[in-house]
Amino acid sequence: MEPVTPGKPPLITEISREFTFEAAHRLPHVPPGHKCSRVHGHSYRIEVTLRGPVDPKLGWVVDFAELTAAWQPLQAQLDHRLLNEVPGLENPTSELLAAWVFERIHIPGTQVSKVRVAETCTSSCTVFAAGT
Ligand SMILES: Nc1nc2c(c(=O)[nH]1)N=C([C@H](O)[C@H](O)COP(=O)(O)OP(=O)(O)OP(=O)(O)O)CN2
Ligand SMILES: [Zn+2]
C-alpha cells in the first residue's frame, strides 16, 4: 500500500539500482566507414527502476537485493561478451539493449518502469513502460 497523507495525492514510489559490465560490440547497420562499424568496447552502466507498492510493514517496495538477483542472469549473458553474439542483440545499440533488459527483468508485485543504458559518460538511452 502506498503511503497516504490526508488531503494529498497518494505517492508513486520507484526504486533503482545501477549495474555495470564490460562488453564489446559493433553496429552492423551504420553507414560504411562509421567508427561504430568496427568492434570496440564500453564500460556499460545499466540503471533499472522498479515501481510498486511500499510494503506497510517492511517500508520498502522490494529489497534492493531482489533487484540484484534479478539482474544476475543478464550480467552472466552480457559481461565480457561480444554483444552481437547474444541472442536478441544482433544490433546492440543502446536503445535495443535497454529494451532487451526491460523485457527480461521480472519481480513479482512490481513493474519495471524504466531502464537506462549508458555506453559512455556523456550518452545514454532510457526506455519507459508505456503509459508511465
Ligand atoms: N542513438 C545512438 N547513437 C549511437 C549509439 C547508440 O547506441 N545509439 N551508439 C554509438 C556507438 O556505440 C559509440 O561507441 C558511442 O558513440 P559516441 O557517443 O559517439 O562515443 P564517443 O565516446 O566515441 O564520443 P565522441 O564524442 O566521438 O568522443 C554511436 N551512436
Ligand atoms: Zn559503441
- The residue whose C-alpha atom lies closest to atom 20 belonging to ligand 1 is 120
What is the reported pLDDT for 87? 98
125 is catalytic: no
Q: Which stretches of the chain are DSSP H helices? A: 64-78, 94-102
Identify whether 9 is part of a domain: no
Quote the pLDDT of residue 65: 98
What are the DSSP calls for 57-86, one per residue?
TT-SSS-HHHHHHHHHHHHHHHTTEEGGGS
Q: For residue 120, which atom of ligand 1 is closest to its CA?
A: 22
Does the annotation count 90 as an active-site position?
A: no
CA of 57 from ligand 2 middle (Å) equals 44
Domain annotation covers residue 111: yes
- What local confidence, expressed as pLDDT, does residue 54 receive? 96
Q: Residue of the nearest CA to atom 18 in ligand 1?
A: 123
**Distance in Å, CA 13 to ligand 2 centroid:** 33
The CATH number of residue 28's host domain is 3.30.479.10
106 is in an annotated binding site: no
Say whether 14 is catalytic: no
Is residue 91 a part of any domain in this protein? Answer: yes
User: Can you give the pLDDT at residue 8?
Assistant: 76
Query: Which region holds residue 68: left if phi is over 0, alpha if psi is between -120 and 50, else beta?
Result: alpha
The pLDDT-based confidence of 132 (bands split at 50, 70, 90) is confident
Question: Rg of the Cα trace of the chain?
Answer: 17
One-letter amino acid for residue 93 of the chain: T
**Span 119-129, pLDDT tens digits:** 999 999 999 99
Q: Which residues are CB-contacts of 75 (< 8 A; sequence separation ≥ 6)?
A: 19, 21
Whether the predicted interface score ipTM is above 0.95: no
Q: How confident is the model at residue 1 (pLDDT cuts 50, 70, 90)?
A: low
Q: For the segment 74-118, what is each residue's pLDDT rounded down to a tens digit?
A: 999 999 999 999 999 999 999 999 999 999 999 999 999 999 999
Work out how many domains the chain is built from and give that number. Answer: 1
Q: Report pLDDT digits (tens) over 2-50.
A: 556 777 778 999 999 999 999 999 999 999 999 999 999 999 999 999 9
Q: Provide the residue range defining the domain that includes 75.
A: 14-128
Tracing cell 541472442 back to the chain, one arrives at 87
d(CA 35, CA 116): 23
| 113 located within any domain | yes
Residue 36 lies inside a defined structural domain of this protein: yes
